[in-house]
Structure 1
């Protein structure tokens, strides 16, 4: 793998950001809540990389990848909530005259977790919640299998374009509506809470845990960026870009377009799920609202603003919009009096985001990453109208740019 200048710059910037945040936090100049915000932002950047790979490089606009992100959070959240509840139940039964049996412990744990929805039995889907390795395996397996089944059905039928986007959004909505039910086995609208309390680490403060998760999120983002940079720089990357540009011609050349799409869809679903598994222990809670179709639309907006088809563009878009969203909606920006009324940024932030998306689409279709390319002189080479291929009918420079 040849590491490009952009990859070097990205990795060095990520290391510097992580070290600076660590030093400032240790010195008491950065709050624990903001460290968590940075860690969560890095996780969202990983999800944006997955979205950029499937949309920016392959041309498949999926409006359901945040569902895989949330499923990863649910899978790790089940272990976190079960293990933490088990510690509480064991401690409460320690003073009993007789030692509690395994069945009594199981019943106590189930009552603690599901009493809020009027149930006292542990659902079958929690059968592996006691085991961290098995639950980590489910973080990958559940979203991956869902993506494989959905992708096989959709790509086998050669559903493309806006129709595929609608199907992915319908899948997300159906999953969210199912999880809202109390009998879904995941506590319905209450979701899973207390995920920031790591079992066995009660003596470790949130200030230190937030730094650990920041380091883990930074490591995950760096490894994901390197892995995807390797993928898009090889033959696989060339094929998926060709599918984006002219699917019929790629199929005519003998490539199994559906297989490439299916592998890519499942791979990006797993990446999004791993990002969710890192995100929600920092957020502390997850509920079915996290699967709402609007979340996946936001993900697409981040990638578009940052510049799709550029890995660093996806990271820039996700980081910028996520941090600005936290700033505007966190009440840190004072309201703006306009004489005829008051502009409350908490209420108008989404309008501002929508206007930014429209503006980027109209005036900077390559996003912020495209502007960086122009400043760095990374545009297309000036071939003075020379052919870009061996044939007389090869594309000319102006045609290629368009």
Structure 2
């Protein structure tokens, strides 16, 4: 009788239980539904961190399990945010325009309302016309579909061209970085249709629920982010647990051998790349409404490098390691850059942690790479006390001279 997935992999159940406990405790301590111990700003920060943990899982799938060091997954993350942000900004602006024109003696026409919305949104870049990419921005279902379609199609096109050419290693990393740099530079232009450097703002004001306070909305997004993280973690764990996971790990360790065994390596890599892009898009759609703004800087290559640092520090090749890395670095970053750490006066120099945080992060990445390649998650491995199978000296294979128990433990 085949055991259930959760019985076979109890660590997944443990993670889901801890995530549920964290969500419940945060809700009970929030200003909206609890004791008020956790401020609304901190609730939003925790919700954003959960979305970043989902993004880290996407990075771990493509890098930790498949061996593709993508330095462009922030592009898919940002595109997901832009897609949902377009609907939020359009509908929110429409509410304001309709309310302001409601006192007119002559009721405004639909065209006048549309022109006023365009002037409000694009006046900052010297335009009032809606670009074609905003064609369905008034439809929430359509924009939610684009959260998946746009990152997915970009990943499919890029991955198909790169993998069919058998580009690997550092060359592929450079290409992914070039992709996200090109996209960021395009979005910085005022004629990109997404307000250039200004980006999309006011995303924390969700249309249609103006009566809901920000403290309640912060908890709602926390719930949504926790649910998405739970589903994403469970799906990723299921994906890497069976034969598919064994194949992509084989591609990571020895791509040539896997290809020699007859597997379509390029198809596996493309599938993982696209799936990771879809997960990143969902993470972006949850993150940026909580952040309140998105601009092209969120897609810059440095954002993808941060993502790789999170996964490395947490421990790549372990889904919980990616989550730990993203959560740990994000919390510490918020602590250092939020002015909570007093400056260090050395006499001959003064260390301002807001300025030196990135240096500290870089040194931490180097230290983990050299001294603890398994990352923070390696600590859990040390405490797990994984025992070798008790075969009492029996051969580990059918051939004479197969490894014995003593040799397997060395």
Match of 1:263 among 260, 266, 271: 271
Q: 1:145 to 1:300 in 2, by over 3 A?
A: same
The equivalences for 1:324-335 within 5 A come to 324-335=332-343
1:156 aligned partner: 164
Counterpart CA distance in 2 for 1:382 and 1:294 is 48
Distance in 2, matches of 1:399 and 1:158, equals: 38
Tell me the equivalent position of 1:2: 5
Residue 398 of structure 1: how far off its partner (Å): 10
Moved over 4 A (4+): 379-402
Where structure 1 has 5 or more consecutive residues not aligned to the other structure, the ranges are: none
Q: Is the Cα contact below 8 Å between 1:373 and 1:379 reproduced in 2?
A: no
Map of 2:52 onto structure 1 = 44
C-alpha change, 1:157 and 1:93, in structure 2 (3 Å) is: same
User: Can you give the 5+ residue segments of structure 2 that lack an aligned partner in the other structure?
Assistant: none
Distance 1:124 1:393, change over 3 A: farther
Q: CA deviation at 1:5?
A: 2.3
**Equivalent position of 1:243 in the other structure:** 251
Residue 40 of structure 1: SS of its match in structure 2? Answer: helix
For the structure 1 residues 380 and 78, does the alpha-carbon distance in structure 2 shift closer, same or farther, using more than 3 Å as the test?
Answer: farther
Partner of 1:233: 241
1:221 and 1:398 map into 2 onto residues whose CA distance is 41
> Aligned match of 2:84 in 66, 71, 76?
76
TM-align CA RMSD:
2.0
In structure 2, distance between residues paired with 1:167 and 1:393? 47
* Alpha-carbon distance in structure 2 between the residues aligned to 1:371 and 1:365: 11
Please list the CA deviations of residues 269-302 of structure 1 after superposition, one character each: whole Å capped at 9, or x if unmatched.
0000000000000000000000010100110010
SS of the counterpart of 1:371?
A: helix
TM-superposed CA distance for 1:363, in Å, is 1.1
Shift of 1:396: 8.6
> What SS does structure 2 have at the residue aligned with 1:30?
coil
Shift of 1:8: 1.9
CA distance in 2, matches of 1:150, 1:393: 48
- The Cα of 1:341 is off from its aligned counterpart by 1.8
Select between 248-257 and 275-284 the one with higher mean Cα deviation: 248-257
What is the CA distance between 1:389 and its match in structure 2? Answer: 5.0
Q: What residue is the counterpart of 1:302 in the other structure?
A: 310
Is the counterpart of residue 13 in structure 1 residue 21 in structure 2? no
Render the CA deviation track for 1:231-287: whole Å, top value 9, x for unaligned: 111111111011111111111111110011111100100000000000000000000
Decide whether aligned partners of structure 1 residues 382 and 48 sit closer, same or farther in structure 2, where only a CA change above 3 A counts.
farther
- 1:378 equivalent in structure 2: 386
Mark the CA change 1:292 to 1:383 in structure 2 (over 3 Å): closer, same or farther.
Answer: farther
Question: In the aligned structure 2, how far is the partner of 1:112 from the partner of 1:199?
Answer: 16
1:400 Cα deviation from its structure 2 partner: 8.6
User: Hey, what's the Cα distance between the residues in 1 that align with 2:117 and 2:149?
Assistant: 25
How many residues get paired?
402
| Offset of residue 338 of structure 1 | 1.2
CA, structure 1 residues 89+376, in 2 after alignment: closer, same or farther (shift >3 Å)? Answer: same
Whole-angstrom distance in 2 between the partners of 1:185 and 1:80: 15
Once the two structures are superposed, residues 154-204 of structure 1 have per-residue CA deviations (whole angstroms, 9 ceiling, x without a partner) of 000000011000000000000000000000000000000000000011111
- Write the distance in 2 (CA, Å) between the matches of 1:91 and 1:400: 74
Rounded to whole Å, the distance in 2 between the matches of 1:191 and 1:124 is 17
Q: Which residue of 1 aligns with 2:28?
A: 23
Please give the TM-score of this superposition, normalised by the length of structure 1. 0.96
Deviation at 1:382, TM superposition (A): 7.9
Task: List per-residue Cα deviations over 1:300-342 (Å, max 9, x = no partner).
Answer: 0100010011000000000000010011001111111112122
